[in-house]
Amino acid sequence: MGQSTQSAEVLIEALPYFQRHAGKTIVIKYGGNAMVDPVLQQQFAQDVTLLKQVGVNPIVVHGGGPQIGQLLEKLNIQSEFIDGLRVTDRATMDVVEMVLGGQVNKSIVSLINQAGGKAVGLTGKDASFIKARKLNLKREAKADQPDEIIDLGHVGEVSTIDVSVLNMMTQSQVIPVIAPIGVGADGASYNINADTVAGKVAEVMGAERLYLLTNTPGVLDGEGQLLTGLNVERVEGLIADGTIYGGMLPKIDCAMSAVQNGVSSSVILDGRVPHSLLLDLFTDQGHGTMIQSSV
């Protein structure tokens, strides 16, 4: 079989997927290796640009923890983590805004634009489209002691999202690239977990799919085999028996919340695989762990 014939067959295989997803919104949480490897960065930008070209409406939400950590270290600002959350005082929040809203966001925007897309970067402070409230961490106390409330500083959770801002972009040729910074009622900035923001954006936009790019193939069973085609009940069982644990739990919670609130499916996807987005969305072979409300 000649190379031209193989290329044609790939396009024919993709055609029904192009038709199925045309006009639909896809929210992508971008992070991990895909975000720091130069080759994967370029491929991600190409993938997102292609999605827009074939009629899909991609929305990118990005993280930037390692980049924040590097700048804090250079500035001799100590980082403290409690239950995986960075305690964010005023000085740290200034760095978070500088890195997420500036350096990382504009780098992603530039890469997509170089690939032929029309990306626009924004934080939740732009048009106040992500309203946030302070997140206080609660720890259950032992015996008769009251629960402990831990102040994490400028760490927030999503209060509301103004979909009109995103609709204005997705209904044009613009690809929104969102830094996960929200604004409080008093105008204060809040650092919000990027997975959480991506999930909430997917929910309010009625997205067809939420992608959470990670540094693992997805959810693995005890033998290391990839699990997919999961529903909420099955996932709850995997959590109960210890198959899903540790750092995967927050992503699973985010994916579950999305499908329980109107998103058709969530996929935990290996961002280290070249063009993993296109392979999962437009071919017969799934490349991650898909979760739906029912299967």
Cα 251 to Cα 247: distance, rounded to the nearest angstrom? 8
Domain parsing of the chain, residue ranges: 22-292
| Structure tokens belonging to residue 252 | 């699973």
Question: What pLDDT was estimated at residue 162?
Answer: 94
Question: What pLDDT was estimated at residue 2?
Answer: 62
- In 10 A of CB 141, how many CB atoms? 10
Question: Which fold does the domain 22-292 belong to in CATH?
Answer: Carbamate kinase (3.40.1160)
| Structure tokens belonging to residue 36 | 């720091």
Question: What pLDDT was estimated at residue 58?
Answer: 97
β-strand 130-139 against 148-161: which pairing, if any?
antiparallel
Cα 65 to Cα 235: distance, rounded to the nearest angstrom? 27
Q: Are 102 and 183 in contact (CB under 8 A)?
A: no
| Structure tokens belonging to residue 167 | 């609709």
Question: What pLDDT was estimated at residue 109?
Answer: 97
Instruction: Tell me the average confidence (pLDDT) per consecutive run of 10 residues in the chain, 295 residues long.
Output: 70 79 92 82 95 95 89 88 81 92 94 96 94 83 66 90 93 94 93 94 96 89 84 88 82 92 93 90 82 78
Question: What pLDDT was estimated at residue 19?
Answer: 81
- In 10 A of CB 89, how many CB atoms? 14
Cα 120 to Cα 133: distance, rounded to the nearest angstrom? 25
The one-letter code for the residue type at 23 is G
Cα within 13 Å of Cα(112), Cβ side: 28
